[in-house]
Amino acid sequence: MAKDAGTLWVVATPIGNLDDLSLRAQRVLADADLLLCEDTRHTRRLLAAFGIRARLYSLHEHNEARVTGGIVARLLAGESMALVSDAGTPLISDPGFRLIQAAAAAGVLISPVPGPSAPIAALSVAGLPTDRFAFEGFLPARGAARRSALAALAAEPRTLVFLESAGRLAACLADAAAILGAEREAVVARELTKLHESLYRGGLAALAERLADDPDAARGEVVMVVAGAPQGDGTEGDEAALARVLPVLLEELPPSRAVRIAARLTGVLRRRAYAAAVALGSDPGSDVK
């Protein structure tokens, strides 16, 4: 730690229910010389609910690279600061990485004040394996890119955790059902800790159909938790994954590359992937063996 430098506190804030702001977090926010936040208006409302007065400074994805140097200089000069996001734990699909990286390199003491996190909250109630999981953040907004991203995860055995906007939820579930498997178990957690908290459980296809007709599903904050790829005897499951993944890759990539990636993702022999591509009407070319 740099001599006489201040501390940078990384403070988790409520994702909905204000009672989830810990006493320690309240004390740190009240004592910090400066609060770094995404939206000063949002954070000011949170502070007002607890009678906390503080100096606020906006730090977001559009200015983080530009202002980080000045913030680190102030920390080295002895100011203590608290970093918060609009909701949940900072840096989890929120700004702050550049600042934390620069502060650590400069020798500033960085300390977490743990608390709410939407992905962890969803995992805790999903009823899917949690011994190993992969947090994938937000999937791409555009359909083709989203399907490619899902195809790359089709053989992932760990439980998958995604954030998603409610407006794209139905399309995302439909794509996931087509690529990961209609019967793959999933949980959609909406508005966690809020008044209209809802959990939807079932296979991906059933969830896609159910939520496409639910007007409430198109509103609020969403976490999607999906079971990992089933690990069978290495034959049937792989072939099923190939049948889902290969058509998507063929839409987005040259056939030879699509075959190579599909074989690597699903574990099938490349010649079998090649034959599957030919059956789908594509010509991977002579470079595929």
Which pLDDT score is estimated for 232? 57
Tokens of 130: 């949690």
Which pLDDT score is estimated for 236? 46
Which pLDDT score is estimated for 3? 58
Which pLDDT score is estimated for 273? 85
**Is 222 strand, coil or helix?**
strand
Residue 106 belongs to what H/E stretch?
helix 97-106
Cα–Cα distances in angstroms (integers) from residue 15 to residues 126, 162, 217, 241, 257, in the given order: 17, 16, 18, 36, 42
Contact between 90 and 83 (Cβ < 8 Å): yes
Beta-strand relationship, 56-58 and 34-37: parallel
Note the pLDDT tens digit of each residue in 13-36. 999 999 999 999 999 999 999 999
Which pLDDT score is estimated for 243? 87
The residues near 18 (Cβ < 8 Å, ≥ 6 apart) are 46, 49, 50
Contact between 38 and 62 (Cβ < 8 Å): no
Tokens of 61: 């994805």
Give the angle 258-260-261 at the CA atoms, nearest 5°.
65
Note the pLDDT tens digit of each residue in 267-278. 888 878 887 888
Low-confidence ranges of the chain (pLDDT < 50): 1, 233-237, 286-289
